[in-house]
Every structure is written in structure tokens, then in C-alpha cells.
A and B are shown apart, each in its own frame.
Chain A
Amino acid sequence: MQPKIQVKNVTKIFGDHPEQAFELLEQGLGRKEIQQRTGQTVGIHDVNFDVDQGEILVVMGLSGCGKSTLIRCLNRLIEPSGGQVLIDGEDILQLNQKDLLERRRRKFGMVFQNFALFPHRTILDNTAFGLEIRGTTQNERREKALEALELVGLDGWENAYPSQLSGGMQQRVGLARALAADPDILLMDEAFSALDPLIRRDMQNELLNLQARMKKTIVFITHDLDEALRLGDRIVLMKDGYVVQIGTPEEILSSPASRYVERFVEDVDKTQVLTAGAIMRDAPVLASPKDGPRIALRRMEQESFYCSFVVQRDGTLEGYIWADDAAEAIKRKEKTIEGLIQRDHQPVKPDEPISTLIQMLADTRIPVPVVDDQGRLVGTVVKSNVLAALADNQPDREEQEDDAAGGEGGGDEKAPAESAAP
């Protein structure tokens, strides 16, 4: 399937003589040096990535890394100096002004950091702005804008003005405005950064909920790694105008491509990001309800484990039994373990963050069973799995020192010149 957005070798140089900067970039000079020598500022350099239909791609980096420039290159609010931006296979950069406006009206919705609502328009008219620009009739406009407002939970506010709303509500309007015209692509520029942490968390959840229903293609810019890990199907990490790493949140956490990325992810609260599915192991012992207590006990003894999960033939989790109970049942000469099965276990889904698991493991003596949507046991988590996961991924001490000596380490991404200097 063709990716929804393809970004190919996109470069933006701010200044009157980009060609001078291009030459120096070819020679591998860094941003700072080019700025000093030519007065040209390299916004972004040679950025490449694809975004698939229905994916949330998060572009993440510190301020000044070029991420805001990058997102504006996608709809040409900033004119790239070179490269290609293909939307559904069509190069946006080749379009004339009229076609460009048409694409912006049909394909893009944008949400801004400081909301950028129009203070002189009601919430309804703000929401309907894109439709109005497109020339939709008044009735249809109203209908779609009201729909969009309902989607973000702001029905009843359509006649208010932006100044009457709280920050969180204003950004809901921003989101509704972007959704009302039903674009394929949402560009979200630090959309939640101006909100306080609790509201931000709400909005993130809301966005994920909406996305589950709408399946838009979303490019989301943020400087907040936690937000990136929470929202992103994949993350593009940027530094000084370059892409440093592209990968799923787990890939970025578990194998950072360079010391820069490592430093970034060091402080991440891994309990929020790693999931049960990522750290679970196969169940140590399994039994079937028809097994005799003797067999079940022997398996437990072989694995030196004090309990065993009981599953049906199709893998459905039934419960668990204690080794002590099995021993008692042998004395009572029972035929099967059916009567011993305990059912007070609390199964979790593979996408449960391990922060939840830590709490559960503190309260229970058995491993936490992980089941799929059909209730089949796919693995279990014990305390040591969690500890191992949290202790893991620490950067290798030796490797770190190597990097420090040899400038920016890690394969094929280019080393910014200023940090390579002795």
C-alpha cells in the first residue's frame, strides 16, 4: 500500500542564498558553521520518512530542532528549499497556488499550539471556518460544525466566543475546526503543549479515542517524550534539523540509535511505556482441568513453582491451582484437579502498561496472567520480569565512553559538526 505521506530529502534553508548553504551541507558542515560563514540558517536537512494511512506519526525533538519547520513544509506554510513531499503520491511542492489552496482545503486539517482561534467568531463559526473557506453552503456548514463540536464534547457551546472558554476547551475547538472539514490528514503542532498536565492527559486520551474511530493520518509535533511515546505509532526523533532515529516507541526505548537518543530516553518513566505484552514470559507451568492432581503436582515440582495456571484445550484461561492443594487432593485420591481451581486471578491484556502490573503484583502471590481478546493465555508476568525490564535498556557503560570520544556515534546519521569538534 502506498504511504499517505512521503517526505523525501526535504531541506529548508532560511535566508537569501540557500545555494551557498547547500554547498556547505554537501561538504558535511554543521548548522552553526554554515550560519557563521554564510548567514543562512539551516532549518531542516535531508529529512526522509513515510506516514501510513491511519497512523499517528510523532515528530519529536527539543525546541529549535526543526520540527515546527518540518510540519509546515508538509502543507507548504513554509516553502521547502529542496526535496519532495508526496501526498497520496502527488508532489505538493509542484502545485501552483490555486491547486495548493485546494489541497489545503480538502486534505489537511491543522491544530496549533496556542489554539489560534479567531476571537471575533463564535465557536460555531470558528469550527466552520474551513468549510466556509471551501464554499460549503450555510446549512451544511452548520450541520458539520455541530457534528464536529459534538465529537469533541462541546455541544451547547456553539454560540460562545473563544475568550469565554478555558484553554482545554479552546483546544477542543481547535481540534473540531480541523475535523469539521473531514480532512485525511491532521497536522498537530505542539497541540497540547500549552495545556496543563492533567488536561493534556485528557486530551491525549481523547485524541486516541477519536483516532480509534476516525483513522485519520496524523502528524503530531511535540517536545515531550512521554507524549510522543503515548501517542505515536512511530516516532521521528529530530536534532539540529536532522532526523536522528525513526521507530516505534518500543524500538526507540530499547535500542536508541545514538547517545543523543539515549540521553533523551534515560529519564522516561518506563513503567508507562513498556507493556505487559513486551515483558511477559511463557507460563512456567500449565495444567488442564482434566489432569489428575499427581501429574499437575509433578510438573510444578519439575519447574519448582508453587502454583500452576489451568487452561482449556483451546488455550482459554480457566484459573490456577496451588501445589499444596494438589498434594492434599492426592491424599484424598481425587481423579482430576477440577475441584481445586481458584478463579480469583485478574488477567490483563498485552497492552497494559507495567505501571498497572506493579500494583497488581504487590497484591497477589500468583503471576499476573496475560490473555488475548478471546481470553486465551498468552503469557504471564512475575515480579522479576518487571524488574528486569526496568533495569534493562540502560546504556552500556563502555559504549557510552566510546561515543564521547568519537563524537556522535551510531552508524549512518550525520554528526552535527559542533559536537564533533575536539
Chain B
Amino acid sequence: MSQDFPFVGKFPLSDYIDASLEWMTQAFSGVTRGISTVLGGGVEAVVAVLSFPPPWVVILLIAAFAWWIAGRRVGIGTAVGLLFLWNLQLWEATIETLTLVLFATAVAVAIALPLGILGGLSDGFKRLIMPILDLMQTMPAFVYLIPAIPFFGLGQVSAMFATVIFSMPPAIRLTILGIRQVPGELVEASDAFGANWWQKLFKVQLPLAVPTIMAGINQTIMLALSMVVIAAMIGAGGLGSEVWRAIQRLQPGDGFEAGIAIVILAMILDRVTQRIGQKRKQQ
């Protein structure tokens, strides 16, 4: 039998959180509705565009892109993997998931880059943001789903909100690292030639940090993919919902099919984005 804390009652943490979330939901309802419309519309549009042509056309285009970025092997692997997904009748779900992942990644990177640059250049900001990043990464991912629903309602935008929060930290961390890794003597050299803050950042620090930042973006994409599957619980659709349905109906075969599809998608995204980072490094 559990014993209550002596003398004082329970600290009403959950009440406070509920209250502040409720307040935020109402206060920013205009903003959240706007985001909901724009992002929801965007996702729908891209899914529609990718679903319009016959699957083999899209597969060919994606494979050609992978070949161009990462070489023959990855290109062929991409084509074979995607054709297999089409064969498994998971093409629609794959497109939904891919679109969602790319949208979430784009939003996450758009937020992460400026924060990472600030953290890379300012010790104070780094000290401020580090514990927040720890919190974002260690909080069980499911928890983000709960407030997402009052903010954005059931569906893809809520899923994206949770995904962005969960997948953003590596991009921020590695941007901070990349900026700080730039050798001090190169920064000093650009100072010596009279470079101002912007010139230093865009001509020296950012270009030299690109390989590290790309590694962060790669991590973000992987995390986004894993979260999109979890987010099927609040109506994200795509491959995640196939898995979710299989769990509810206890159909291990269907579950594995969808699971393997996610793995194939992950491998393609990983190989291609890794190569983008490496390509820069070789110069």
C-alpha cells in the first residue's frame, strides 16, 4: 500500500501542465489553426502529386536521384526496394510516410539550424539549450502525442508536431558541434582579413560545419521516420497505421510486411543523406 507524502498534499504538477497547455491551446488557436492548414494542405498536395503518376515513374525518378547522389549501388538498391514495396501493395502508405518524414525534417531543420548556430557561437545560449535538448530526447516520445491533439487535432499535422519535437535535437546538437569544431586559427584568419560576423559565418564557419550538420540531419531523418510510425496512433496514416492495424488485429504477417517496408525506406533515406554529407567532406 502506498503511503502519502507527510504534511503536504501532492504537488499539482499535472494540473499546472494541463492548465498551461489549455491556455496555450486557446491563446494560440489562430496560429495553430494556420499552421494546421498550411502544413496539412502541403502534405496533402505532395502526396497527391506523388500518387498521380503510375508508381514505376515515381520509383524511377527516386532511384535516379539516389544514383546521382550516392552512386550505382544505392540507385539500384533503391529501385529494387521500392518496387518490392509496390508489390506488397504498400505504395500509397509509403508515399504518405515519406512525405510526412520529409516535411517534418524540413521543419525541424529550419528550426534547428538557427538554434544550432547560436549555440555554436554563444556559450551562454549553449548552456541554456543543452538541458532542454536532453529533456526533449529523454521524454518518452508518446507524451508529445497528447498535447499535439488539442493543438492541431487528430491527423497528420499533430503527428508532424510530435515528430518535429522528437527529431530536432540531433540536428541542433551536431550544428553546435560543427560550428565549434571549426579550427580556431581559421576563424582567426578570417578575423585578421577583416571579415564581419556574417562573412565569418557564411564563408568559413558554416561551410566547414556542413559535413557535421549533414550527419545531424541524417539522424533527424531517422528519428522522424521512427516517430512517424508511433504517430500513427493519432492518425498519421502511412506505413505506421498499417503496423498499428496489424497490432490491433493480431496479424503478425501484415505487421512484418509494414515493418520491413519501414526498414527499406529507412535504409534508402540513410544511404542517400549520408552521401550528401560525405560528398562535401571529400572536397
Interchain residue pairs with CB less than 8 A apart (30): A75-B192, A77-B188, A77-B192, A101-B194, A101-B196, A104-B191, A104-B192, A104-B193, A104-B194, A105-B194, A108-B192, A110-B193, A112-B185, A112-B189, A114-B185, A116-B183, A116-B189, A118-B189, A120-B208, A120-B283, A129-B190, A129-B193, A129-B203, A130-B193, A130-B194, A132-B203, A133-B199, A161-B283, A177-B193, A181-B193
Residue of B189, B193, B283 most packed against chain A (CB within 10 A): B193
Interface residues on B, range: 10 to 19
In the complex, what's the smallest C-beta–C-beta distance from A78 to chain B, in angstroms? 10
Count residues of A near B (Cβ-Cβ below 8 Å).
Answer: 25
Interface of A is mostly: mixed
Set of chain A residues within 8 Å of B35, measured between Cβ atoms: none
Instruction: Say yes or no: is B76 at the interface (Cβ < 8 Å to chain A).
Output: no
Residue A294 interfacial (CB < 8 Å): no
> A75: which B residues are within 8 A, CB to CB?
192
8 A Cβ contacts from A82-102 to B: 101-102
Chain B residues with CB below 8 A from A102, complex form: 194
A77 to B184, CA, bound (A): 12
Which residues does chain A contribute within 8 Å of B195, judged by CB atoms? 101, 133
Residue of A nearest to B189 (CB): A116
B27 to chain A, nearest CB (A): 40
Docked complex Cα distance between A77 and B191 (Å)? 7
Q: Which residues of B contact A133 (CB under 8 A)?
A: 190, 193-195, 199, 203
* B173-220 with Cβ < 8 A to chain A: 183, 185-186, 188-196, 199, 203-204, 207-208
CB A184 to nearest CB in B, in angstroms, measures 14
CB-CB under 8 A from B203, the residues of chain A are 129, 132-133
Q: How many A-B residue pairs have CB under 8 A?
A: 57
B52 to chain A, nearest CB (A): 40
Which residues of A390-416 have CB atoms within 8 Å of chain B's CB atoms?
none
- CB of B248, distance to nearest CB on chain A (Å): 52
Task: Give the distance to chain B from A358, nearest Cβ to Cβ, in Å.
Answer: 42
B272-283 contact mask (Cβ, 8 Å, vs A): 1 or 0? 000000001001
Compute how far the CA of A132 lies from the CA of B194 in the bound complex, rounded to whole angstroms: 10
Note all chain B residues with C-beta closer than 8 A to A77: 188, 191-192
Residue positions of A touching B, CB distance < 8 A: 75, 77, 101-105, 108-110, 112, 114, 116, 118-120, 129-130, 132-134, 161, 177, 181, 187
Q: How far is the CA of A133 from the CA of B280 in the complex (A)?
A: 23
B193 cross-chain contacts in A, Cβ below 8 A: 104-105, 109-110, 129-130, 133, 177, 181
Question: Are A118 and B188 neighbours in the complex by a CB distance under 8 Å?
Answer: no
Residues on the B chain within 8 Å of A103, using CB: 194
Least Cβ distance of A37 to chain B in Å?
Answer: 28
Q: In the assembly, what is the distance between CA of A104 and CA of B188, in Å?
A: 12
Chain B residues near A120 (CB, 8 Å)? 207-208, 280, 283
The listed residue with most A CB atoms (<10 A of its CB), out of B183, B185, B192, B204, is B192
B185 contacts across to A, CB distance below 8 A: 112, 114, 116
**Chain A residues with CB below 8 A from B194, complex form:** 101-105, 108, 130, 133-134
Chain B: minimal CB distance from A68 (Å): 11
With both beta carbons as reference points, the residue of chain B lying nearest to A108 in the complex is identified as: B192
Given A118-B204, A120-B208, A161-B283, A110-B189 contact (CB < 8 Å) = yes
Q: Which 7 A-B pairs have the closest CB atoms?
A: A105-B194, A104-B194, A116-B189, A110-B192, A130-B193, A116-B185, A101-B194
Check if A119 sits within 8 Å of B192, measured CB to CB.
no
Residues of A within 8 A of B189 (CB): 110, 112, 116, 118
Q: A112-B185, A112-B189, A161-B283 are in contact. List 13 more A-B contacts (CB 8 A).
A: A77-B188, A77-B192, A105-B194, A109-B193, A110-B189, A110-B192, A116-B186, A118-B189, A129-B190, A130-B194, A133-B190, A133-B194, A133-B203
CA distance A101 to B192 in the complex (A): 9
Nearest CB on B from A202, distance (A): 23
Cβ-closest chain A residue relative to B186: A116
Chain A contacts for B188, CB-based, 8 A? 77, 112, 116
Which B residues are in CB contact (< 8 Å) with A104? Answer: 191-194
B contact residues around A129 at 8 Å (CB): 190, 193, 203
A262 to B136 alpha-carbon distance, docked (Å): 64
Q: Identify the closest chain A residue to B184 (Cβ).
A: A116
Could you say which residues of chain A place their CB within 8 Å of the CB of B207? 120
A313 to B183, CA, bound (A): 66
Complex CA–CA separation, A108 to B203 (angstroms): 20
Report the Cα distance A132→B199, complex, angstroms.
9
Most chain A beta-carbon contacts within 10 A, residue among B185, B188, B190, B194: B194
